[in-house]
Amino acid sequence: MGHQVIIFDFSLIRGLWETRVKKNKERQRKEKERLEKSSLEKIKQEWNFILECRKKGIPQSKYLKNGFVDTDEKILDTYGKNPQLQRRHALSEEANKEKNKFIFHLSGEQWTEFPDSLKEQIYLKEWHVYNTLIQTIPAYIALFQDLRVLELSKNQISHLPVEIGFLKNLKVLNVSFNNLKSIPPELGDCENLEKLDLSGNMEITELPFELSNLKQVTVVDVSANKFHSIPICVLRMSNLQWLDISSNNLKDLPEDIDRLDQLQTLLLQKNKLTYLPRSLVNMPKLSLLIVSGDDLVEIPTALCESTTGLKFVSLKDSPVETIVCEDTEEIIESKRDREQFEKEFMKAYIEDLKERDLTPSYTTKVLLSLQL
């Protein structure tokens, strides 16, 4: 009994496949041409060219012609062969290598605790740890007496150790977007601290009075937490220039807020404020004030008519839809992500405002929203 043999005409299949390959290559070619002609690609090329020029120490006047970038490769060649610039570049690289010996970097979700070898590197001047699953800061941090910068953003840290008070030379502390609920009073012993960032922890409600000792602090960011009022210790930071307490539960501002006579920037948007105190007018250096205008029913006229160059911005927040989810942690994460995005947006927006000398003193209906 014979067997049935199924015969395929592979020439037909091959023909179909070759046709598809040709179409795909044609699509890729057109997309490549589109990107090459697009302004985005041109901007990317110009930016890479500028970076290369800066690396080689080429002055801006050499690659800017009437305000436009001149991507002439000869500029790179000419300066690349300059012995003096080559020596300067080599010295710069050597200096960077020397500097990096004192800087500790750590990132990635594979890290759940600090490496054991860290405790032996007490000469370090900077820690930069981000996007890890680390929950605790080791007590041996007290040994790092030369530490100047402690950047611990976007981790899972749940508390700061009391030993942090031993860091007398610390200038920058950034523990934003972690899981902190309180701050130890011992932080007030870091008398040389200049910048304090506690934003995005979502649960901090108060700061210890001992932080009043931080007289060198110029920047405080406690946005995206649960403050019902500006902490008393903050009002006693006599050198404070930047205060971001947006995205909290503020219902009013203290009448003596004008004691912050060095304050230049005050961010109050996304709170529950219904009025602004007249004492804001008495702050001589206040140059940027941002609020959310939906709940405000009383604003001092003098703020809008300020002759001191104050830029008063009232943002209109768009309503955020409630996220229905069985997993509570997922909701919390979406809130953090939203706050992070809005923070980056506001940073860019403020930089733009500062550069515009002729901006109106009062601006409304700036839409700020993110749907996740």
Structural domain includes residue 154 = yes
User: Do 125 and 34 have their domain in common?
Assistant: no
Sequence-ordered list of residues with C-beta below 8 angstroms from that of 322, at least 6 positions apart, any chain:
none
Domain check: are 48 and 110 in the same one?
A: no
pLDDT at 362: 46
Could you tell me the sign of the dihedral formed by the alpha carbons of 245, 246, 252, 253, in that order? Answer: positive
- 11 domain-assigned: no
- CATH label of the domain that carries residue 171: 3.80.10.10
The domain containing residue 67 runs over which residues? 28-81
How large is the average pLDDT for residues 104-125? 94
| pLDDT band (50, 70, 90) for residue 127 | very high
Q: 126 vs 150, 172, 180, 293, CA distance in Å?
A: 6, 9, 21, 40
pLDDT band at 368 (very low <50, low <70, confident <90, very high): very low
List, as own/partner pairs, every contact residues 358-363 make where C-beta atoms lie below 8 angstroms and the sequence separation is at least 24, other chains included.
Answer: 359/311, 361/304, 361/305, 361/306, 361/310, 361/311, 361/312, 362/304, 362/312, 362/313, 362/314, 363/312, 363/313, 363/314
Partners of residue 105 on adjacent β-strands? 128
* Domain assignment present for 13: no
Both 45 and 146 in one domain: the answer is no
pLDDT in tens, 131-155: 999 999 999 999 999 999 999 999 9
Cut 0.85: pTM above it: no
Q: Is 97 helix (H, G, I), strand (E, B) or coil?
A: helix
Residue 124 and residue 236 share a domain: yes
Residues 251-299: tens digit of each pLDDT = 999 999 999 999 999 999 999 999 999 999 999 999 999 998 768 888 8
Tell whether 42 and 150 lie within a shared domain: no
Residue type, 299: I
**Could you tell me if residue 141 is inside a domain?**
yes
Q: Is 111 exposed, middle or buried (0-12, 13-18, 19+ CB in 10 A)?
A: middle
**Is residue 170 domain-shared with residue 34, that is, in the same domain?**
no
Between 241 and 336, the higher pLDDT residue = 241
Same domain flag for 75 and 185: no
Same domain, 101 and 74: no
In which residue are the tokens 């529950």 written?
A: 272
For 197, the enclosing helix (H) or strand (E) is strand 195-197
Alpha carbon 189 to its chain centroid, in Å, reads 26
- At 34, is the pLDDT very low, low, confident or very high (cuts 50, 70, 90)? confident
How far is 48 from 176, CA to CA, in rounded Å? 31
Q: How high is the pLDDT of residue 338?
A: 82
Q: How far apart are CA 322 and CA 119, in angstroms?
A: 45
DSSP three-state, residue 49: helix
Rounded Cα distance, 188 and 32, in Å: 57
The crossing angle, in degrees rounded to 10, of helices 10-37 and 39-55 is: 60
59 and 178 part of one domain:
no
Q: What is the mean pLDDT of residues 311-321?
A: 66
Q: Does residue 243 sit in the same domain as residue 113?
A: yes
Last residue of a domain, one of 309, 324, 339: 324
Residue 223, in any domain of the structure: yes
Q: Give the count of domains, the chain.
A: 2
Do 287 and 165 belong to one domain? yes
- Measured over the CA atoms of residue 261, residue 263, residue 264 and residue 268, the dihedral's sign is negative
Residue 15 placed within a domain? no
Query: Is residue 354 a part of any domain in this protein?
Result: no
> Is 334 among the domain residues?
no
Residues 76 and 220 placed together within one structural domain of the fold: no
